Amino acid sequence: MEENKRKAGWKFFLAELMIIITGTLGMGVLGLIRRQPEDRLLGNCVTMLFVLGAVCFHLRREYIHDGLDYDNGDHIFRFFLCLGIGLAVAFACGFLPVGGWPFLLVFIMLSLFSSMSVGILSAASLLLASVLLSGCDVGGFALYFVCGVFAVTLFRHLGEDFKIGIPLFLSVLCLLVCETANVVLVANARPDFEIFVIPVANMIVSSILLLGCLKVFSSVVVYRHREKYLDIIDSENPVIARLRERDRNEYMHCVHTTYFCERIGKRLGLDVDALKSAGYYYRLGGELTQMLEDKQFPPSAREILLDYRNRNTGMKKKETAVLYCSDMIVTSVKAAYAEDGQAQVNFDRLVDDIFSRLFKDKTFDKCNISVGELRTMQQVFKEEKLYYDFLH
């Protein structure tokens, strides 16, 4: 299966260069303000140069090979914006008490707008900058690194339901426990109320900042095209209504295909809204062409439809493969019933035959879908035997 590859142009390179230069110079200037020895100052600058270089290199690799979560690959510069904000936070933390660093926000923010690996690496690099500036020991780094990785894991792959209550509670609780163990208890063998003030304040501030970050994320990523998708898949949409009136059988074919697209899309963790939109419209002719030219679909749905139209030259997206297979299953089941309405169709054999032919013809050689995902799709079709009665 061929990997999707993006091109990182001069703007990408310029953003990388700006982050590396800003981070390195910032370490130097702030180190002078902190009156760090010359050898330590030079070491910190060199460390920051190579660490940020590693972050940018890893980001570039993930971007080129389409390894970023959500639609972050299509909006890569919002990650650079988040990285710039994170860098400012890291420099500010160099002058704050260790117990008051809002690094939970940095880890989650950078991960949500890139991927888990990029977010953890970049946030850990910024955390290192704060540690080098403040002069705190390795315990401070371990405290926020553990909390950050735990939180990133909890918030990974937020679904359309956007359930953030439990991840938010557990993340903040982990922060409080780790701060109590690594800052409060270590700092004073007989803890009193005052030394809990900074950790508790950090917990409250981190919670507020996280809620703000998640609100922005839901607006620009999760629900960005929600209204447009709802309009497109609405049964009373003028285009769908005309198809239903013009050809009921064709309309029902699209409905059945969309059902399988939704089921498989959820199982494989794909863009379900985009798949459903493509499922309702993929069999339209000139009307769909006009809609594509007018860009009436959200980008993800439009890419699936265009990829499906070019399927004879090799489809590239996983969602297109799901749409293609769903259409084949619906067509084949309807054809089997058309031959003999009273026949008992062996659906397992029918599905196996279709997928055997697809593998033999190397239909998905240029697609980024894995063999395991194709086998999962095959299994879903076998599980839906009861639904096939609706195709009769």
Q: How does pLDDT run along the chain (392 residues), one tens digit per residue?
A: 544 567 778 899 999 999 999 999 999 999 999 888 988 999 999 999 999 999 999 999 999 988 888 888 888 999 999 999 999 999 999 898 888 899 999 999 999 999 999 999 999 999 999 999 988 888 889 889 999 999 999 988 776 566 788 889 999 988 888 887 776 555 554 556 666 777 888 889 999 999 999 988 888 887 777 778 888 888 888 888 888 898 999 999 999 999 999 999 999 988 888 999 999 999 987 888 888 888 888 888 999 999 999 888 889 999 999 999 999 999 998 888 887 656 677 889 999 999 999 999 888 988 989 999 999 999 999 998 888 888 77
Q: What is the dihedral of CA 218, 220, 225, 226, to 10 degrees?
A: 20
Q: What is the reported pTM?
A: 0.68
**CA 138 distance to own-chain centroid:** 31
The DSSP symbol for 2 reads P
Residue-level pLDDT at 342: 62
Q: What is the DSSP string of 88-157?
A: HHHHHHTTS-GGG--HHHHHHHHHHTS-HHHHHHHHHHHHHHHHHHHT--HHHHHHHHHHHHHHHHHHTT
Residue-level pLDDT at 340: 66
Collapsing DSSP states into helix, strand and coil, what is residue 310?
A: coil
Angstrom distances, CA of residue 169 to CA of 150, 176, 386: 12, 11, 41
Residue-level pLDDT at 298: 87
By the 8 A CB rule, do 273 and 321 touch?
no
What angle separates helix 76-93 from helix 116-134, to the nearest 10 degrees?
20
Instruction: Report the half-sphere exposure of 85 (CA within 13 A, side-chain side).
Output: 17
Collapsing DSSP states into helix, strand and coil, what is residue 180?
A: helix
Phi then psi for residue 239, to 5 deg, are -65, -45
For residue 274 the two structure tokens come to: 């985009």
Residue-level pLDDT at 220: 83
By the 8 A CB rule, do 264 and 326 touch?
yes
| Helix, strand, coil percent content, the chain, rounded in steps of 5 | 75, 0, 25
By the 8 A CB rule, do 337 and 391 touch?
yes
Residue-level pLDDT at 91: 95
Q: Write the burial class of residue 180 (CB in 10 Å: 0-12 exposed, 13-18 middle, 19+ buried).
A: middle
